[in-house]
Amino acid sequence: MAGGNGYKGVWGMDENRKLREQLMPALESKCDEFRLLGYTQVTMDGLWECLCSRKWKHRPAEKKLHELVSDIFSLSPSEYMMFLTMRSYKQQAAGDDELERVLKELL
């Protein structure tokens, strides 16, 4: 994820920024909830990316604001942790591919 405006895969940058601003109270509440449950490393950007890539990847434009808020509040810690785990694996795999390429160039 690049920058603080969040994930770019679902909407254009303007729509993404506006929607994130509208949903900020719900995102802050969910972030606080996770922290109270002991998930101290949770971030707003991480939550946003998780929601965009997991809950809203199919036709988000058709969802109403209250449905998006409901999606935020229904996100479980296990869903979020699974997202982070999969993202970590993907980043590690991409890094492994890059390392392999560099090693081949050196040898």
Q: How far apart are CA 10 and CA 16, in angstroms?
A: 8
Q: How far apart are CA 8 and CA 49, in angstroms?
A: 9
Instruction: Write the CA distances from 53 to 31, 84, 97, 102, integer angstroms.
Output: 17, 11, 23, 30
**46: Cα separation from own chain's centroid:** 4
Q: What is the pLDDT of residues 38-92, one digit of tens each?
A: 999 899 999 999 999 889 886 666 789 999 999 999 999 999 999 999 988 888 7
As a whole number of Å, the CA-based R_g of the chain is 16
Domains of the chain: which residue ranges? 13-106
The model carries a pTM of: 0.74
